[in-house]
Structure 1
Amino acid sequence: MTLTRAALAVVRSVPFLLCLYVVGLNASVGRPLWIDEFTHFAFAAEPTTRDVWNMFVATADYNQHGQTGIYILLNYWTLSYLGVDATLLRLPSILSGMLLLVSAVVFLRVLGFSVLWQIVMVAALTGQHLLMYFVGEARAYTPIPAAAVGLLLYYVLRPLYPLSWAVLGFGAFAALFGATMHPYFAIYWPAVCLVAYVHCRTVTGQRFSLRSLVAFANPGLVAIGAGLYFLLGALTWMRDQPRFGFDPYEWLHQYGPLANFTDYSHTQFLAGQYGLAGGLTGIVVLGAVLLPARLRGDARTLLAPTLLILLSVLLSLLLGCISYLADYWILPRQWVGSVALIAVGLVWLWAEAARIWSRLTPLLGVAVCATALLVVSGQAMNIHRVKLHQLLAYLAEPTPARDVTDCVPPAHLNVATLPNDERNRVVVDLANRNIACGGPVWTVFREYYNGPPAGLREQQAAAN
């Protein structure tokens, strides 16, 4: 009996071990900083948290537009108290990636789906290359899907454990983490709450009503989250923003809007196997719906995952419209929250349909799961090969021998008169040199935002 329990525990731990492996593989260990990460690194040269915050607020309009500043504060604390290292700069994203994957696995486990379905979920999220890239990037994108999936898990757990302080604490963390990390989270909170509410009502058979939806959302938590969201917004991203005057489609021209929306973002995990994925979805979902009622049971369980997929698409279109109206670029990275939720929604939909088919015979449920794993595993393995090769290449690159003078920072940056690309190269190379030398972040990087030399701020405003 003890051996059986031990074996079961090992099997049940496999999805979580895969989560840990996937996050480690995508953490960009050994990869040098680049300019977008350097803009966070430079804040760590400030002497105190208050100085960092004051500098962020002062530069938010022209350099850090669309950010709340919380990610940058986390970067300051990790570099100040844990050491100067590129991986530590990316630590908030790395931990967010872990939160995302573990929340998705636990979500399926709470719904009663097997370990194999949990592995399918990990494979699907791994196949979303855009999503996995930001796990190893020091920018505030991965917290959006991490908080959204975490909040979805909370709202599914809440009716099952209404008095649990652990569940409430997790939900509060997910909600406040998302609300304070990025403005985009505001549109995902009501979406995942609505999806979980629909799931709860279809499972319990209770009637839908606005009053029950409001109570389900936890008004106290919503009030606290909204308060923090608008407070940070008033201090930072909700202030007057510059008119960008960009071509919204500039970055979409190479592959076209449709390819960017599908192959390069939302459906990367399908690796172009739309026929197979569509066939699987059509057969198992429509077939389950068309089964006699006495065999299929309640097919309304398919509503919530379907709603999650549809809302994810609509929210991405909404974000695209916001960028278009602001004369800003429409970029696939803006959809990273939906990229995760679509993968979660489709795997959930397949799993619910498989559960209906398994009422006829368990073999049908296993067959659906095996087919789903076949659909998503190809892209996951491709990403695995690429990321493993990159990781080994970074780790194999020898650390350059440095003379003592290499670790003496310059007196000034002296980049104000350089063209934008050259200026970026100089400061990034210097930051990577600082990391290689160790020690604190060099104080010379304070000049990047507040000078000297004179004129740097104006050049940054024009460049960003």
Structure 2
Amino acid sequence: MGGYDSISDVLNVIRKTTANINHGQTGAYMLLDYLLLKIFGASAFALRVPSLLSGALLLAAALLFFRARRVGFFGQIGFLIAISGQADLLYYMGEARPYMPLAASAVGVLAYYSFPPEERRSWPVVTLGWTSVILGASMHPYFPVYWFTIFLFCYWMAWFDGRKVGTLADALTFVNLPLSVVGTLLVFGIGAFTWLQGGPKFEFDPFQWLVLGLWTTFTGLSHFQFVPQDALVVIVPAVAVPLVYLVTPRRLKPVLHGMVAPAILILLALALSVLVGATSYFRNYWILPRQWVASMALVPLGAVWLGYELYRQIRRLHWVAGGAFALVALYSLYGTVLPTLQLKIPVMQKWMSLAIAPSEGPAPRPENETVPADNEGWVALANRNIEAGGPVWPIASMYYRAMVK
């Protein structure tokens, strides 16, 4: 798209290709990339700026969420360790596609709605809320599902914590009506222009790329990379805590109270991924781990939060016991994350070594290029353009011109 001359041309391409070659994307990421390429020229880094900024937003949102839930130093360090173990999630910080914006927006709205309305007036929280909703609504069709589910979760959590949320006025204040109206208009406005037009009819095998099996891919290779091979260490407590809370005598419920919400968050995140996977299955489309990227961010957040609430209860018995539990938990988490990092770092180093290196001869020139005949040819053309630097070559627009008439 960087080979086109105007924004109107790019918008026309997005509108005419969303329902076929671009499989229901909103096109917002592509439009941003077009603008960045016009400013910075043919740059692999410029292509990835929206994902890199989204990764920073995700981390900032997680820390604000912990602030809202009064999760202290040990929990914050634990999350940074856990998220570093979600190697496939972090991969999308460096890929020029809208998956990291979706993950960042999901964590952002969770953090925003975790603050009581009277505590949302500070500029970091206001900025987080509006940025997350606008980013998510414009970037990905799955965002409305996450947004609505997370709002309901946070509203229930406010009620569960004893806050006043029972009236319609309370609900409207909690949801932030102006923010919700703007976000909804963006969802349906962009959607009407793009993904709500429908999409192609697929005839793929949904399980084609799940070569290690659905369970292994869903757990150890996606949502629970931070505890590889031990997903049940998180899943079993997440299921058990709410059930035990229901049958616990009233006088003992305060002990488990703080652990119920993080357990529910983990289960909701997994349920949303199941819903996304089922959507692909019934459309005869591939079930791919990248479709679960928002939940891949929410699960470690919920798991660390759950662990911190357990630490709180132990600390109430004795501060030494609490400190010992925190240190052992952090060390154990680091021990489970380390193998994933050791496995992924050489892969990333190999990718970096394959990056474009200047050729010994003169830089490629656009007039020497011919229209590629296949996808590999287009990739090679783009890499030669990056090597040469300067503006995106107009020949790049031929990729879409054959499809948009």
Give TM-score, length-normalised by structure 2: 0.89
Aligned twin of 1:61 = 19
1:143 maps onto 2:94 in alignment: no
Task: Report which stretch shifted further, 128-137 or 393-402.
Answer: 393-402
Task: Report which stretch shifted further, 55-64 or 379-388.
Answer: 379-388
Q: Distance in 2 between matches of 1:189 and 1:131?
A: 19
Deviation at 1:162, TM superposition (A): 4.3
Q: Aligned runs of 1:119-158 on 2, under 5 Å?
A: 119-158=77-116
Q: 1:66·1:237 contact (CA, 8 Å) conserved in 2?
A: yes
Q: 2:312·2:322 contact (CA, 8 Å) conserved in 1?
A: yes
Partner AA of 2:297 in structure 1: A
Aligned twin of 1:362 = 319
Q: Summarize deviations over 1:157-199 as a string: whole Å, max 9, x none.
A: 2435244455333211111110110001111102221222233
**279 and 448 in structure 1: CA distance in 2 versus 1, 3 angstrom threshold:** closer
Q: Summarize deviations over 1:188-222 as a string: whole Å, max 9, x none.
A: 10222122223323334546567644431122221
**140 and 396 in structure 1: CA distance in 2 versus 1, 3 angstrom threshold:** closer
Aligned twin of 1:424 = 375
Deviation at 1:117, TM superposition (A): 1.4
Aligned twin of 2:138 = 180
**407 and 105 in structure 1: CA distance in 2 versus 1, 3 angstrom threshold:** same
Aligned twin of 1:256 = 213
Give the percent of matched residue pairs that are identical in Structure 1 and Structure 2.
37
Deviation at 1:94, TM superposition (A): 1.1
Partner AA of 1:115 in structure 2: F
Q: Aligned runs of 1:191-230 on 2, under 5 Å?
A: 191-206=149-164, 208=166, 212-230=170-188
Q: 1:281·1:350 contact (CA, 8 Å) conserved in 2?
A: no
Aligned twin of 1:189 = 147
Deviation at 1:310, TM superposition (A): 1.4
Partner AA of 2:182 in structure 1: I
Q: 1:270·1:379 contact (CA, 8 Å) conserved in 2?
A: yes
1:98 maps onto 2:56 in alignment: yes
1:444 maps onto 2:402 in alignment: no
Q: Summarize deviations over 1:328-359 as a string: whole Å, max 9, x none.
A: 11111111111111111111111112212211
Q: Distance in 2 between matches of 1:243 and 1:396?
A: 39
Aligned twin of 2:42 = 84
Q: Distance in 2 between matches of 1:241 and 1:299?
A: 46
Aligned twin of 1:51 = 9
Q: 1:68·1:233 contact (CA, 8 Å) conserved in 2?
A: yes
Structure 1, unmatched stretches of 5+, are 1-42, 416-422, 452-456, 459-464
Report the 3-state secondary structure (helix = DSSP H, G, I; strand = E; otherwise coil) of the residue aligned with 1:404. Answer: coil
Aligned twin of 1:433 = 384
1:159 maps onto 2:110 in alignment: no
Deviation at 1:299, TM superposition (A): 3.3
Q: 1:105·1:122 contact (CA, 8 Å) conserved in 2?
A: no
1:115 maps onto 2:73 in alignment: yes
Q: 1:158·1:167 contact (CA, 8 Å) conserved in 2?
A: no
Q: 2:363·2:387 contact (CA, 8 Å) conserved in 1?
A: no
Task: Report which stretch shifted further, 99-108 or 278-287.
Answer: 278-287
Q: Aligned runs of 1:351-430 on 2, under 5 Å?
A: 351-390=308-347, 392-393=349-350, 399-404=357-362, 406-415=364-373, 423-430=374-381
Give TM-score, length-normalised by structure 1: 0.79
Deviation at 1:93, TM superposition (A): 0.9
Deviation at 1:286, TM superposition (A): 9.3
Partner AA of 1:427 in structure 2: W
Report the 3-state secondary structure (helix = DSSP H, G, I; strand = E; otherwise coil) of the residue aligned with 2:226. Answer: helix
Deviation at 1:370, TM superposition (A): 2.6
Structure 2, unmatched stretches of 5+, are none
Q: Distance in 2 between matches of 1:188 and 1:175?
A: 11
Q: 2:225·2:337 contact (CA, 8 Å) conserved in 1?
A: no
**237 and 410 in structure 1: CA distance in 2 versus 1, 3 angstrom threshold:** farther
Matched length: 403
Partner AA of 1:184 in structure 2: Y
